[in-house]
Amino acid sequence: MNATDTALASASTIDAAVRLSIQPVILAGGSGTRLWPMSREHFPKQLIGLIGEQSLLQATVSRLDGLSAVGLRVADAVVVCNEEHRFTTAEQLLGQGRRARLVLEPVPRNTAPALTVAAMHALRDGEDTVLVVMPADHVVADQDAFHRAIGEGARCAEAGAIVTLSVVPTHAETGYGYIRMGAALPGERACSLERFVEKPHLELAQHYLASGEYGWNAGIFIVRASTWISAIEHYQPAMYAACVAAFEGGDDDGDCLRLDRAAFASSPSDSIDYAVMEQIASERGDDHFMGAVVPLDAGWSDVGSWDAIWNILPKDDASNVARGRVMFEGATSTYAHSEGRLIACVGTRDLVVVETADAILVADKSCAQDVKAIVGRIKSEQGREAADHRKVHRPWGHYDSVDQGDRFQVKRIVVKPGARLSLQMHHHRAEHWIVVRGTALVTRGGETFILAENESTYIPIGVQHRLENPGKMPLEIIEVQSGTYLGEDDIVRFEDTYGRQ
């Protein structure tokens, strides 16, 4: 029995009443291209309420409630997200009354570098805590079962193991990776990590299901911060060095840590599975690191595609799911989601229909995984529908591009109470502002003045200007842009409350 095995045996005797501190790490850097057109590059699936009123991110953080029942003391979460999503992520957490520390990725580098900088962030505070690492875009139906699995995994991790949760499979799924579980370890259900397996073909998936030795790879990991850093330094020295440079060269304003762009971009892009867990599995008997698996039987789904969402949600007698303004007539096994307009499905079968203000998806459920190919085509044709919705969120509020044509664009702009846009200027467009609700404080050139409802002003090309909401209710204006070029990159910012370039 090696040192980790001995520690595991000791940990298994600890009563649940003993409080073990854990640090949740929420990985919120995904893009969710298979859930287009709801999920977009600048407003991805973890920020959307695809299942209920809460966004997937909010539901993930809420899932931490109640872990004290299994003997865990939960610190404020560290959320690793794309720099583009900083303000929306923070706003959603604050809307729940949650505190969290944000680590901002300047470029995506997959989950292994994300966990590495999160572990460095935890160690910087002086505590070598147990990290519970969860993607921000999963659904779990049975919270109690989830908490029990986390509790057992945390005690294994405290003893030095790198733990992964393995979902007990309900069917032969070809869209997930699999984990083969080895010999039983001390504890209620933990076992050694035998190996990771790529997404199998159907016959192999059926064999895995029948054997009872395999579970789905949920991408949920539990590990002590120092153990993870040691593993990355051992197996991925180039990644370790890049993450150290990105972390030490980052800018920390107290609420969030901006990683150094050049250093983080130089890191290899790899997942936790490939970078470390598969290395551990291939070195069974090596005393460097111990991989452990805890089964998770809690109604888990990774919400990776529209057919997965159809699977989760309640259905009518004909197995249809409707969200928003939807009517079914003779339809079966159809998922329809409306963001505004009425969707009428007549005689449809096994279809996905999703309507947004600027795009409509119609797909056979069996082809739901192929939606990402459409997103790739939109990007290759420079279509804006891959990156943004018509309604675009900003730290000060949002705007909706309601109409556009040759040399003009009309926007509905909503500014939150007390918020203000950057002091800016445009080289190619002029703007007309009409206040329809609230009160606007306008800076135009060298003058500052108030606009009330039904009043308007004009911002010429090349003139510095700013829009602010000094009131206690949302400010709503209609903006009419005119000029030779109306792109969002025609903005020169001179001063910005939110630190944008």
Rounded CA separation 157/2 (Å)? 15
What is the pLDDT averaged over residues 131-143? 95
Query: Under the phi-then-psi rule, with left for phi > 0, alpha for psi from -120 to 50, and beta for the rest, what region is 303?
Result: left
Q: What is the pLDDT of residues 32-68, one digit of tens each?
A: 899 999 999 999 999 999 998 899 999 999 999 999 9
pLDDT higher than 90, residue 15: no
Rounded CA separation 21/73 (Å)? 5
pLDDT, position 14: 42
DSSP 236-258: -HHHHHHHHHHHHT-EE-SSEEE
Rounded CA separation 206/214 (Å)? 11
Rounded CA separation 32/162 (Å)? 27
pLDDT higher than 60, residue 90: yes
Rounded CA separation 215/208 (Å)? 8
User: Among 24, 242, 216, 9, which Cα is nearest to 116's?
Assistant: 242
Q: What is the pLDDT of residues 445-492, one digit of tens each?
A: 999 999 999 999 999 999 999 999 999 999 999 999 999 999 888 999
Helix (H) or strand (E) holding 119: helix 111-124
Helix axes 143-158, 3-11, angle to 10 degrees: 140
pLDDT, position 30: 82
User: Among 109, 108, 288, 300, which Cα is nearest to 220's?
Assistant: 300
Rounded CA separation 53/143 (Å)? 18
pTM of the model: 0.88
| Domains detected in the chain | 3-163+219-285 (3.90.550.10), 307-378 (no CATH), 391-495 (2.60.120.10)
